[in-house]
Amino acid sequence: MTPPRAEILSQGDELVTGQIADTNAAWLSERLTELGFLVTRHTTVGDDLDALTGVLREIGARAELCVGTGGLGPTVDDLTAEAAACAFARPLREDPEALRQIRSWFAGRAEPMPEVNRKQALLPDGARRLDNLRGTAPGFALNHAGCRFFFLPGVPHEMEFMFEHAVKTDIQSSFRTRPGQRVTLRVLGIGESTLQQRLDAIAMPPGIKLGFRTVPPENHVKLLFPAPFPTSERDTLVEKIRCALGPSVFSIDTPEQAGGTLIECVDRLMRQANASLATLETTSRGHLAQLCGAHPWWTYGLVIPDTRPVPVRLGLLPRDGLSDDLPDAAALAERLRLQQGTSHALACLESPPDTRELVIAIAAGSGIVTARRRLDGNPRYRQALSAALALDFLRRTLSTPAD
């Protein structure tokens, strides 16, 4: 079965002039690919009726599904319904339920509906209205010449909500596709070229799409398995990849279970251990406090330029000056733990300062563990990387039961 062809259409002068970047197209493409479509093209045009009408006809001639975003607002620049009416020769009609919803959206904000918003209730004849539960602009769907068109708002959170709550089920009843199975391995500390090299050594059965995505400082290995791929074989292959990549894989998302982000993994382990944490960081410049800060087990964070001028003022060490060796990062973590009364303390320092040698020390009641990591990349990247490496070491420590 060849997958049906889908195209994405984005509309707006602000996109075509680069005033905002189009994030909707990538989001929709990923969803449609997962749902079993072959996405063949994205097109972006400005607020121009002729261009828009023309591109709708072109897409109708090429694809079986089109998802369009933007141009549903109340102003004269919002031309999607008019363009669809032109392109498909269907006059615009006022949808009474759409009008009622727009009025009630304003009523909910104790505002009268401006007359311009009435335009948003005009839909091409025979279109299916898609309710917008997050904003004023309703979307709509229609068929033309063997292609099903969906028109959604351009505001990402409105668009995503409408896609998940109205478009997906419509697509699933209109098309017989075979959704793939997406597996994502999240990796820290291995670059994309090394990842690719290690994966080259693994025989990949045909039909599996392999992709990489960098979400600095993490790298994600993305596998899309065809729908009928047996789960046990899938899991065997994923396990083989996990072994090839080693302990740098901190989390795996499958259709059955989300492994989650690094801080989500740490959060799970901290809660399981009923632990609490204080942090001291230099190189990571507050990234560590920021990542931990939303969680109840984190109680205290100290951020300093480096460890040279402050040991006494911090009250963490009784003597003046720190030597730059591993034991002192350990001592610092232990003092911090005792001073703050937490079960764990984490120190994340460049030591000696400015050497790109990261020292991570974790103090707990059961003892102190330390690790050294090499930092690379530009300064901003090194900040995020050192925080992630420190959290990852905490994750590894919490995952390994104490002797």
**Residues near its own copies, by CB under 8 A:** 10, 14-23, 25-33, 39-46, 48, 51, 55, 209, 211-213, 222, 285-290, 293-294, 298-305, 309-310, 313, 315, 339-340, 379, 383
CA distances from 167 to 39, 180, 263 (A): 16, 18, 32
Q: Identify any residues that bridge with 148 across adjacent strands, giving them in sequence order.
A: 65, 143
Q: In the bound complex, what is the minimum distance in angstroms from residue 166's beta carbon to its own copies?
A: 20
Measured in degrees and rounded to the nearest 5, phi and psi for residue 39 equal -80, 120
Q: In the bound complex, what is the minimum distance in angstroms from residue 88's beta carbon to its own copies?
A: 21
Helix, strand or coil for residue 207?
coil
Rg (the chain; Cα; Å): 27
Q: Tokens 């001028």 appear where? A: 309
- Distance between CA 95 and CA 248 in Å, rounded? 55
Q: In the bound complex, what is the minimum distance in angstroms from residue 27's beta carbon to its own copies?
A: 7
Q: For residue 286, with 0-12 CB atoms within 10 Å meaning exposed, 13-18 middle and 19 or more buried, which class applies?
A: middle
Q: In the bound complex, what is the minimum distance in angstroms from residue 298's beta carbon to its own copies?
A: 7
Measured in degrees and rounded to the nearest 5, phi and psi for residue 383 equal -60, -50
Residue 19 or 274 having the CB closest to its own copies: 19
Q: What is the DSSP code (8-state) at residue 341?
A: T
Q: In the bound complex, what is the minimum distance in angstroms from residue 11's beta carbon to its own copies?
A: 11
Residue 48 or 170 having the CB closest to its own copies: 48
Residue 18 or 206 having the CB closest to its own copies: 18
Residue 340 or 370 having the CB closest to its own copies: 340
Alpha helices of 63-216 — where are they, by DSSP H? Answer: 80-88, 96-108, 156-162, 168-174, 192-200
Q: Tokens 């204080």 appear where? A: 278
Residue 43 or 143 having the CB closest to its own copies: 43
Contact, 387 vs 358, CB < 8 A?
no
Q: In the bound complex, what is the minimum distance in angstroms from residue 299's beta carbon to its own copies?
A: 6
Q: Which helix (H) or strand (E) holds 140?
A: strand 139-144
Q: In the bound complex, what is the minimum distance in angstroms from residue 85's beta carbon to its own copies?
A: 21
Q: For residue 182, with 0-12 CB atoms within 10 Å meaning exposed, 13-18 middle and 19 or more buried, which class applies?
A: middle
Q: In the bound complex, what is the minimum distance in angstroms from residue 209's beta carbon to its own copies?
A: 8
Q: What is the DSSP code (8-state) at residue 333?
A: H
Residue 23 or 323 having the CB closest to its own copies: 23
154: nearest Cα among 46, 275, 23, 325: 23
Residue 26 or 243 having the CB closest to its own copies: 26
Residue 100 or 356 having the CB closest to its own copies: 356
Q: In the bound complex, what is the minimum distance in angstroms from residue 336's beta carbon to its own copies?
A: 11
Contact, 120 vs 139, CB < 8 A?
no
Residue 25 or 142 having the CB closest to its own copies: 25
Q: Which helix (H) or strand (E) holds 384?
A: helix 379-399
